[in-house]
Structure 1
Amino acid sequence: MQVSKTKAGSSARAQAGAAPAAFGGRTEDHSKRAQPMPLPATPQDLNYLYPQIFWVDGCSNASTPCPPAPSVAPFPPPVPDRRRKPGNRERRSVGFLVTSLLILLALTGVGLSMFQIFHLEKELAELRESTATEHVPPALEKLIGEKEQLLKTEARKAAHLTGNPAQHNLPLEWEPVSGYAFTSGIQYRDQGLVINETGLYFVYSNVLFRDSICSSQVLTHIVYKKNPISPNNHVLMEDKLINYCTGLKKWARKSYLGAIFKLGKMDSLHVNVSKVALVNFEESKTFFGLFKL
């Protein structure tokens, strides 16, 4: 150990002596060359010159064997296509099955309904045949009559009469059937409408007067009521026309009456005018009617 230090010291002095010659530009005897540095003789000296290198993978202890290096990781699996989820096919199958079942149930319900309707029509036809061929009991016949009468009375009571040019006398005569004319639950008799049920009614009447020469006479349009119990007539509505024309030209003037009245059973309503010859009896221009509220 001492020999090594002596050799190291002499080598250092030799290098220190050669340095001034190199920097100062002096030449030095080539015979005095620097001796190579002796190799260390002990392991401690080797540690000093060449420090130990350790792996930084957790294997810091040189005495224990290091685990084998991990193998190279394989490539990651491919990313699945999100547009095609695994459950889409199953969901479509379930949806198709449910839709098919609903359609089947709907068709079954329609079929059952048609069968029931057909069965009821068949029973009704058989019942009609049996009632036509067999004698109907009086009680059943009376019940059927009451039902028919109830249906007739429950129908809306109304009437609309149109002008009738075949006039003979006053009050005005009307057409109860042809054209727009009709009666429902109201009877047309003796040139008037007869009430068969007490209640509120809206009564209306329209008359068109016309002539080819103007005159100064007053035109009157009246709707009145009468009853077999009361001998007097009761005026319900009245209209008087004055100054309805000028000069010698043709003229036409409409008179309309309409209001709500409470009418009793057996009341009859009639229309009267001051001069029948001036009335235009076209069905769209002269008419009379009522309906129950």
Structure 2
Amino acid sequence: MQAFRGRTGSSPRTQSGPAPAPFSCHTDDHTKHVQPIRLPAMQQNLNYVYPQIFWVDGCTNLSTSGPSESSIAPFPPPVPDRKRKPRSNREGNSIGFLVVSLLILLSLTGVGLSMFQIFRLEKELTELRESASTEHIPPALEKLIGEKSESVKKEERKAAHLTGNPMQQDLPLEWEPISGHAFTAGIQYRNQGLVINETGLYFVYSNVLFRGSACSSQVLTHVVYKKNPASPGSQVLMEDKKINYCTNQKMWARKSYLGALFKLREMDSLHVNVSKIALVNFEESKTFFGLFKL
């Protein structure tokens, strides 16, 4: 930066001799000098071009002996702030509005899904009621019933069906547990009776066919009873008696059927007794005994 040179008149003067002294004014024998102001190195490195700035010592009469006020460059404008400007309030408001809109949209979506599920359940309930009134099972309920029946099939059903045994020796009646139509499932056949291994409700039935070649006055008796090791004696569950079962001397036949529902305990054993073994027809389709658990 170059220092400002003083003037002695309205036009500059060029001398061949030594350089003229700097501009000065004489007031009370004090010499005033015009000195350049050096900007800091940091500001000089900026791309902004600053005009030359001069600092002038005070003089009593600048209009006559020093440079005019118009010759002094004004103070430079402030350096623009190069920092990143903060986000405006409008941008913040836009982001907040977007977040609130998304939350409202999610809430409406959840409500819509809930209403759809409610409508679907109401529709299925209406179809179920209509099917119940018309005795028609809808496919969904039929599938559910099928799955339940399959699970029941997997669980062993407690039941037994015994058929007559012609090789009778003594009362109570002896039975065939495995041949022909006879079977046992979850029920044990032991000592001429069926043994219960689980307490519950059971339907018990027994059928005996009596036949003879001549009439007699003997009473035909058919009894189903139970025993338990924890209780002494026996208890009659069902009984049937027949009298006057024939009117002439010809052959005759009479059927006696017993069946009822009972609550049986574990270790109960059920047996069948008759008045006379010789009058019993032991064909498997005519004399049988069984039960099943509900």
| TM-score range relative to shorter protein | 0.3 to 0.5
Larger helix fraction of residues: 1
Larger strand fraction of residues: 2
TM-score by length of 2: 0.48
